[in-house]
Amino acid sequence: MEGEAETVVGSCSKPCGPLEDYYIPYYILKPGAQQVFDLSKEAPDKVLHRLYANLERLKMEGHFLAVQIWRTLRLIVAGGDGTASWLLGVVSDLKLSHPPPVATVPLGTGNNLPFSFGWKAFIFVERNLLSVAYKNVIGARRASWRIISSIEHKEESRKNEEHVIQIKEYRGKIEAELSNICDGILKLIDSHLVPSSTAAESKVFYLKMKGDYHRYLAEFKTGAERKEAAESTMIAYNAAQDIALAELASTHPIRLGLALNFSVFYYEILNSPDKACNLARQAFDEAISQLDTLGEDSYKDSTLIMQLLRDNLTLWSADNT
């Protein structure tokens, strides 16, 4: 398949003859991003019927993403001939106006689906899916907030009070959405994700994520609320950094990502360019000295973050000259 498309992946965990006796887990995969989530613990026909029913409903409600998924959805079935034939029959019975392309990946008994597709542990896949999902949701609203704030400043300079009132009202709605999104993921992180994490990598990942969403709150909050958000950001980032420095290699993409976001926090929220530059420079220098130890799996991610660190250093240094 060329390009990127949402893909439903099905596998049979047992030798597959007549499939009515077996459960087939289904997943959505976005190629190249290692994102997988369980759609339903049900038979394939029920899963696909509900999937397409929900897509149709969301399309009617005007959700652009539903239209995109409808157009680009792909099906992959991992299993034997019986599995593939049964799935093709299910798709045919749906009588879709735009049936999705179907591909098969032959798997024998005992084959491991994540291994066969080249995925890492499912815990890695799931946490990255969670991160990307929230990042997409919050990112659109952060961008909207920046744009509307810029327009607000321009209208204020023009003394256009009527427009300013309307803009402030709209900005308030965006800020309410930002607060709700951040509060939701922060509660999930505190109540479940951090307490259930045992590996250092996962702890750093979720503590970094916690710091990120407190930082997003600090971007638009004012007064005591901004101070509280900034303090919470600092606590989370420091906790993540303590573990990262002790447990993760200097080239580890999560450790580098933490340094990148922590330095941005110093620069943008605390207005401390010197600390921001020192943190970014130290992380970059430590990683570059160990670059030859990077494995193929993490090389691309690590070097991309290192480039971002260097770009920020160049920009921040120029701003302070």
- Specify whether the CB–CB gap between 135 and 143 falls below 8 A: no
Q: Treating both helix axes as pointing N-terminal to C-terminal, what angle do 161-188 and 200-220 enclose, rounded to 10 degrees?
A: 160
- Specify whether the CB–CB gap between 142 and 219 falls below 8 A: yes
3-state secondary structure of 315: helix
Q: Nearest-5° angle of CA 81, CA 27, CA 68?
A: 110
Spatial CB neighbours of 196, under 8 Å, sequence gap ≥ 6? none
- Specify whether the CB–CB gap between 165 and 189 falls below 8 A: no
**Average pLDDT taken over every residue of the chain:** 80
pLDDT of residue 37: 36
Minimum mean pLDDT among 12-16, 192-196, 214-218, 265-269: which range?
12-16
Give the rounded percent of residues in the chain with a pLDDT score beyond 90.
49
Residue 260 reports pLDDT greater than 70:
yes
Give the rounded percent of residues in the chain with a pLDDT score beyond 70.
74
Residue 17 reports pLDDT greater than 70:
no
pLDDT of residue 33: 38
Q: What is the mean pLDDT of residues 257-283?
A: 96
pLDDT of residue 225: 97
Gyration radius (Cα) of the chain, Å: 23
Residue 89 reports pLDDT greater than 90:
no
User: Token pair 């407190």 is at which residue?
Assistant: 214
Residue 277 CA to residue 309 CA, distance in Å, equals: 9
- Cα–chain-centroid distance for residue 273? 28
- Which structural domains are found in the chain, ordered by start? 7-116 (3.30.420)
Whole-model pTM over 0.75: no
Kindly list the strands in the beta sheet with 7-11, ordered across the sheet, starting from the edge strand earlier in the chain: 35-38, 26-30, 7-11, 74-79, 102-106
Residue 83 CA to residue 12 CA, distance in Å, equals: 7
Residue 275 CA to residue 270 CA, distance in Å, equals: 10
